Amino acid sequence: MKHKVATTVNGHPQEHEVEPRLLLVHYLRDVVGLTGTHIGCDTSQCGACTILVDGKAVKSCTMFAVQAEGRNLTTIEGLAHDGQLHPLQQAFWDEHGLQCGYCTPGFIMAAAYLLAQNPNPTDDDIRKGLEGNLCRCTGYVNIIKSVKSAAAMMGGATEKAGERAAAAKRS
Amino acid sequence: MAITTMIGAKIHRREDPRLVSGEGHYVDDFTRPHTLHLAVVRSPHAHARVKSIDITQASKAAGVVAIYTHKDFAKVLSGTIPVTPSFVAEKNQIPPHFPIADKEVVYQGEPVAVVLAESKYGAADAANLIDVDYEQLPAVMDLEKALDAKSPKVHSGAADNLGWDLTYIPDDVAVMKEADVVIKQRILQQRLAPTPMEPRGVLAEYSRGDGTLTVWMSSQNPHFVRLFLAGAMGLPETRVRVISPDVGGGFGSKISPYSEDWLVPAAAKLSGRPVKWIETRTESLQTTTHGRGMIFDLEAGVKKDGTLVALKVIQYMDIGAYMGTFSAFQANSCLLSGGAYNWKHIGARTVGVLTNRVPTDPYRGAGRPEATHLCERMIDLLADAIKMDPAAIRRKNFITDFPHTSHFGLIYDSGAYEKALEKALQMAGYEKLRKEQEEGRKKGRYLGIGLSSWIEICGFGPSAGTAPATGGIALVEAAQVRVFPTGSVAVYVGTHSHGQGHDTTFPQIVADTLGVPYDMVELHHGDTAEGPAFGYGTYGSRSLAVGGMAVHKASKKVVDKARKLAAHIFEAAEEDVVFEQGQFYVKGSPDKRKALGEIAFASFGMNLPEGMEQSLEAVAYYDPSNFVFPFGTHIAIVEVDPETGNADLKRYVAVDDCGNIINPMIVDGQVQGGIAQGIAQALYEEVAYDDESGQMKTATLTDYLVPTANEFPMFELDHTITPSPTNELGVKGIGEAGTIAASAAVINAIVDALSPFGIKHIDMPASPDRIWKQIQTARGTSHDGKEARR
């Protein structure tokens, strides 16, 4: 018994027949073939599978694929444009906001939603905004710095962002 | 060595662009055509007899291809999961460990059967349909009771539950009597789950045509897995290829081989199709090896003037139901128990105890956090007893002469312990904090300042020490450097990077040694089909001090050959050829130069010196002359609310010394993450089991409290630099430092905060509940807040 599900993933329309119980994260990874969204737990604690559903951060293990019918989904693979990293991706790189990288896509997607809601967050705003995501490598110190740095880049600090991009290319 | 330009530079990690873009490749991201999904049926009991396994219903389930149990695996697997001699060469018993249970299960989560199905949902469904009939047996959970002769046995039929009992140095009652004050204390080390964000996983493909096995898995140690797997499956190592791609954290839990590392490849051989298994988080918490799990009985003596006299250590270690491959490594708690200090005598004994829990094995720090914790707690207890400032007692007793030979025969290579302490005190504003503490107490505010002057042993390790410890394989490290005709450089290493940034730091070393642009150097690791014959993996903060040196050594071999060729081209004597920043020239003629890249091109031509073979290529195995001993001082500042028992970590200062630094950004990242894991042990995490049934009570991340961003302040970091004389780069290790230091700093701070209540010690995790109860007890009120009757 399969159900049709039609979504838009990173701007591309997708249509598949899936089991009604298929989790959205498994749909993205195993059916659509986008493996950047990771799975780190069974109980929706870790946030590694966070994506944007119609612009809102959602742990994609908490939704069935069929519930995404007609929705606009953005995964980590859909953030960069024209070969340019999204400011959050750039900032995580600049600030050493990742080590093993497994939780990183989830953090970046959760942070994208956070910055959309609050373009100038304080450290504590960032901590609270990202409390649904677990990282085991960084102690969160550089993740907080990364999100602040991205906020600065996105808030029109264009000159600094340009410098960073140029510096990143050098290294 | 050429003048350094890259070593010491903050170079942004080259692995990051793909990892931030979702283009990393972790084991679950790999697929092979026609792959079957494997689900494991596990014991729900800590200890039981397996009476029968009924697969009738499961076999009929949609998409099920095969169900295998012990009898099937016994046809393709032999032997037992290996146990190294490690630091306890003589063991009382090592229970044989076949990767799947036959007649008896000895821990909750032990594999009993596996299902192979066309889909992972189908495999999980069918696993639920397998009906195993168990007869429950008593579970051995308590370390002390387990040693009682009348205790039930972890393995039915065993004579006792003793894994080992080794006295390194007997205690000396006469020396202890020289002390003016002697303190006895029991300190608990709760079990911890390493919890890398990526659980374990294995994908295996066996080609019946040519008898080759390819395994993709999440491992810190692919070469050792190849060695063990080849043995268990009766294949030559040449036909086993283990690929450990991007790995989402290890923290020690992906060093040793696991049941599934055998079962998945064996299932691929039995079924003739590729097989994939990805661990769930509950499986991870229940079956991936735990860390810590110890009881320390301690006694320490001091003179009135603060001179340390003697320390007596008994370590009871919860081994679990089987001995982990590197389980006995954690007995190093005894060897490091004296910490950074001069003691007249140290007596130490380790006792390994089998229980019906999942095995323990190294977890970040593996024995050294426990050593620091016990030592730094005892130092504070002694300081308190003689009314001496915790900084002053440390200063008075630090080891100051290096190299220093410890009571256990270890040679501390270099150190400047007081320098790190003073820097940390200054950063923290120690004197001012003590005043604030005094003022605060008058207003009912309980501020605590906790010091932890840690040391560790890492850089495993010299062949003389490590070959006997592993059972024959010296934990040296191998590197191969290949220079291509146009000067690009590929480097193959036996270490494995899973967050440590080797793709960036190792090329920094190569770029400086060869004098070539950093961008022309590329690192390869994690595939046993590439590079030297053997690799030794990444653990024990060994990658730089051993692996980095192998890379350096191989690069120098390349330079030596290039110099010979340059001399031939220049028609000069070899000793007259100068190599400087990647350029060769003849002494006195610095204008005529040839870059290493030009020599590389020439090395593939015909104008070579007599007897020289084409190419610039070298393999090096580096055997360090000693271990390395990083150190530092951490200071935690907490405020405890006596009404709620909450310990608020307000600041955290860390001064660490890992010798010379290759990339300061990466070093700080390692320290930050390490500190977080140490704080997590001090305040939040504990693997809890029901004492009667042996059921794990913390088998999801809802129950096992991995801290979030809310739980940590921004850490204040700095360094001192005391180069190691052990290796040419002057480097030590930094991967475990933060974790080794942090739990003692936090607990010392909490006890310091609670000292007005007369509280002398608190065990971990120091949860609000535990702190509150201890305050109530100290105040003489019962836990419901009412005045206790006396």
Interface test with A, best of B6, B13, B15, B16 (most A CBs within 10 A): B16
Contact list, A105 vs chain B (CB under 8 Å) = 20, 22
Q: Which residue of A has its CA nearest to B197?
A: A40
Which residues does chain A have within 8 Å of residue B197's beta carbon, measured at their own beta carbons? 38, 40, 46, 48, 100, 102-103, 134-137
Give, to the nearest 10 degrees, the angle between helix A158-170 and helix A141-154: 120
Give the whole-angstrom CA distance, residue A26 versus residue B305.
66
Chain A residues lying within 8 Å of B675, measured CB to CB: 139
Q: What pLDDT is recorded for position B475?
A: 95
B636 interfacial to chain A (CB closer than 8 Å): no
Q: How far apart are CA A165 and CA B498, in angstroms?
A: 26
> In this structure, what are the phi and psi dihedrals at residue B491, rounded to the nearest 5 degrees?
-125, 130
User: Do residues B59 and B67 touch, judged by C-beta distance below 8 A?
Assistant: yes
Residues linked to residue B731 through DSSP beta bridges, in sequence order: B659
* Calpha distance B337→B331 (Å, rounded): 10
Contact A104 B700 (CB under 8 A): no
Q: Which of A86-95, B603-612, B775-784 has the lowest mean pLDDT?
A: B775-784
Extract the tokens encoding B631. 């150190």
pLDDT of B785 higher than 80: no
Report the alpha-carbon distance of residue B715 to residue B720 in Å, rounded.
16
- Which chain A residues have a beta carbon less than 8 Å from that of B29? 29, 35
Two tokens at A49? Answer: 């599978």
Closest CA relative to residue B478, chosen from B548, B540, B550, B543: B550
- A44 CB neighbour count, 10 Å cutoff: 15
Residues B121, A22: C-beta atoms closer than 8 Å: yes
Residues in B touching A75 (Cβ below 8 Å): 22
Q: What is the mean pLDDT of residues B655-682?
A: 98
Task: Give me the half-sphere count of Cα atoms (radius 13 Å) on the Cβ side of residue B307.
Answer: 10
The mean per-residue pLDDT over the stretch A161-169 comes to 48
Residue B479 CA, chain-centre distance (Å), reads 22
According to the model, what pLDDT value does residue B784 have? Answer: 57
Whether A134 and B706 lie within 8 Å, measured CB to CB: yes
Inter-chain residue contact A100 with B706, CB threshold 8 Å: no
Among residues B43, B41, B51, the alpha carbon closest in space to that of B139 is found at B43
- How would you class B81 by CB atoms within 10 Å of its CB: exposed for 0-12, middle for 13-18, buried for 19 or more? buried
Is B248 in contact with A40 (Cβ distance < 8 A)? yes
Q: Any residues with CB less than 8 A from the CB of B480 and at least 6 apart, and which?
A: B491, B492, B493, B531, B532, B554, B617, B618, B619, B620
Contacts of B121 in chain A (CB under 8 A): 19, 21-22
Q: Are B278 and B201 within 8 A, CB to CB?
A: yes
Q: Indicate the helix (H) or strand (E) that contains B475.
A: none
- Find residue B216's DSSP bridge partners: B203, B243
Do B639 and B451 meet the contact criterion of CB atoms below 8 Å apart?
no
Q: Closest partner residue to B247 among A22, A76, A100, by Cβ? A: A100
Contact between chains at A43 and B702 (C-beta distance less than 8 A) = yes
Query: Which residue among A34, A98, A134 places its CB closest to the CB of B20?
Result: A98
Determine whether B31 is exposed, middle or buried from the number of CB atoms within 10 Å of its CB (0-12, 13-18, 19+).
middle
What class has domain B477-622? alpha beta
Interface with chain A: mutation pick from B31, B197, B253, B656, highest number of A CBs within 10 Å: B197
B116 within 8 A of B271, measured Cβ to Cβ: yes
Give the containing element (helix H, strand E) for B25.
none
Residues of B in contact with A141 (CB under 8 A): 672, 712, 714-715
Q: Determine the Cα–Cα distance for residues B149 and B142; give it in Å rounded to an integer.
A: 13
Q: What is the mean pLDDT of residues B596-607?
A: 97
Segment A41-68 mean pLDDT? 98
B390-404 residue pLDDT tens: 999 999 999 999 999
Are B272 and B265 within 8 A, CB to CB? Answer: no
Domain A87-170 has CATH 1.10.150.120: yes
Residue extents of the structural domains in chain B: 477-622
The CA distance from B333 to B5, in Å, is: 39
Residue in chain B nearest A125 by alpha carbon? B710
Distance from CA of A70 to the nearest CA of B (A): 24
> Are A128 and B500 an interchain contact pair (Cβ–Cβ within 8 Å)?
no
- Bridge partners of B312, per DSSP, are B299, B347
pLDDT value, residue B5: 84
Contact A142 B709 (CB under 8 A): no
- The rounded distance, in Å, linking the Cα atoms of B626 and B414 is 11
Give the Cα separation of B383 and B451 in Å (integer).
Answer: 12
* Rounded Cα–Cα distance for residues B299 and B319 (Å): 24
Measured between beta carbons, the chain B residues lying within 8 angstroms of A134 are 197, 701, 706, 708
Query: In this predicted structure, what is the pLDDT of residue B4?
Result: 53
Q: Is the pLDDT of residue A77 over 60?
A: yes
Chain B: closest CA distance from residue A78 (Å): 8
CB contact B15 to A (< 8 Å): yes
Mean pLDDT of chain B: 96
* Chain B (191-210) residues lying within 8 Å, Cβ to Cβ, of chain A: 195-199
Spatial distance between the Cα atoms of B160 and B543, rounded to a whole number of angstroms: 39
Contact assignment for A42 to B500 by CB distance below 8 Å:
no
Cβ–Cβ gap A89/B20 under 8 Å? yes
Residue B404 DSSP SS3: strand
B397, amino acid identity? N
Residues with Cβ < 8 Å from A144, sequence gap 6 or more?
A123, A126, A127, B709, B714
Residue A138 to residue B197, Cβ atoms within 8 A? no
Q: Where are the beta strands (DSSP E) in B303-344?
A: 308-320
Instruction: Determine whether B311 is exposed, middle or buried from the number of CB atoms within 10 Å of its CB (0-12, 13-18, 19+).
Output: buried
From the candidates A96, A103, A130, which should be mutated to test the interface with B, based on the most B CB atoms within 10 A?
Answer: A96
Q: What angle do CA B215, B218, B219 make, to 5 degrees?
A: 95
Q: What is the DSSP letter of B46?
A: S
Chain A contacts in chain B segment 676-715 (CB below 8 A): 676-677, 700-702, 706, 708-710, 712, 714-715
The CB density around residue B610, as the number of other CB atoms within 10 Å, is 5
Helices (H), B525-619: 549-570, 596-603
Give the gap in angstroms from C-alpha B538 to the nearest C-alpha of chain A: 13
Inter-chain contact B701–A43, Cβ cutoff 8 Å?
A: yes
Examine the pLDDT at B428 and tell me if it is beyond 60.
Answer: yes
d(CA B301, CA B304): 10
- B712:A140 CB<8 A: yes
What is the model's pLDDT at position A159?
Answer: 46
- Could you tell me which chain B residue has the CA closest to the CA of A135? B197
Radius of gyration of the CA atoms of chain A, in A: 16
pTM of the model: 0.96
Domain boundary assignment for chain A: 3-78, 87-170
Closest residue of A to B669, CA-based? A138
3-state secondary structure of B546: helix
SS3 B271: helix
Give the burial class of B234: count Cβ atoms within 10 A of its Cβ; 0-12 exposed, 13-18 middle, 19 or more buried: exposed
Contact between A40 and B246 using a beta-carbon 8 Å cutoff:
no
Task: Please report the DSSP string for chain A in residue order.
Answer: --EEEEEEETTEEEEEEE-TT-BHHHIIIIII--TTS----SSS-S-TTEEEETTEEEETTSSBGGGGTT-EEE-GGGS-BTTBPPHHHHHHHHTT--SS-SSHHHHHHHHHHHHHH-SS--HHHHHHHTTT---SSSTTHHHHHHHHHHHHHHTT-HHHHHHHHHHHHH-
pLDDT at A163: 52
Q: Topology of domain A3-78, per CATH?
A: Ubiquitin-like (UB roll) (3.10.20)
Model confidence at B681: pLDDT above 70: yes
Residue B435 has pLDDT above 60, yes or no: yes
Chain B neighbors of A43, CB-CB under 8 A: 281, 700-702
pLDDT of residue B2: 40
Asked if A102 lies within 8 A of B198 by C-beta distance, the reply is yes
Residue B731 is classified by DSSP as B
Tens of pLDDT, residues B615-666: 999 999 999 999 999 999 999 999 999 999 999 999 999 999 999 999 999 9
Which sign, positive or negative, has the C-alpha torsion A19, A21, A23, A26?
A: negative
Give the nearest partner residue to A40 out of B19, B197, B675, using CB atoms.
B197
- In this prediction, residue B783 carries a pLDDT of 60
**pLDDT band for position A37 (50/70/90)?**
very high
The pair of three-digit structure tokens given for residue B569, joined into one six-digit string:
């081209």
Which residues are registered as beta bridge partners of B297? B186, B314
CA distance B618 to B551: 10
pLDDT at A161 over 60: no
Partner-chain residue, chosen from A93, A133, A167, that has the shortest CB–CB distance to B17? A93
Residue B138 CA to residue B156 CA, distance in Å, equals 10
Q: Residues 716..755 of B with a Cβ closer than 8 Å to A: which?
A: 738
Q: Which residues contact B570 (CB under 8 A, 6 or more apart)?
A: B577, B584, B585, B586, B592, B594
User: What percent of chain B lies above the pLDDT cut of 90?
Assistant: 97
Residue from B702, B705, B713, B703 nearest B648 by CA: B713
B257: helix, strand or coil: coil
Residues 6+ apart with CB under 8 A from A159: none
Cα distance from B368 to chain A (closest Cα, Å)? 19
Closest among B569, B575, B570, B563 to B618, alpha carbons compared: B563
Of B633, B698, B622, B577, give the one whose Cα is nearest residue B449: B633
Is cis: bond before B462, omega within 30 of 0?
A: no
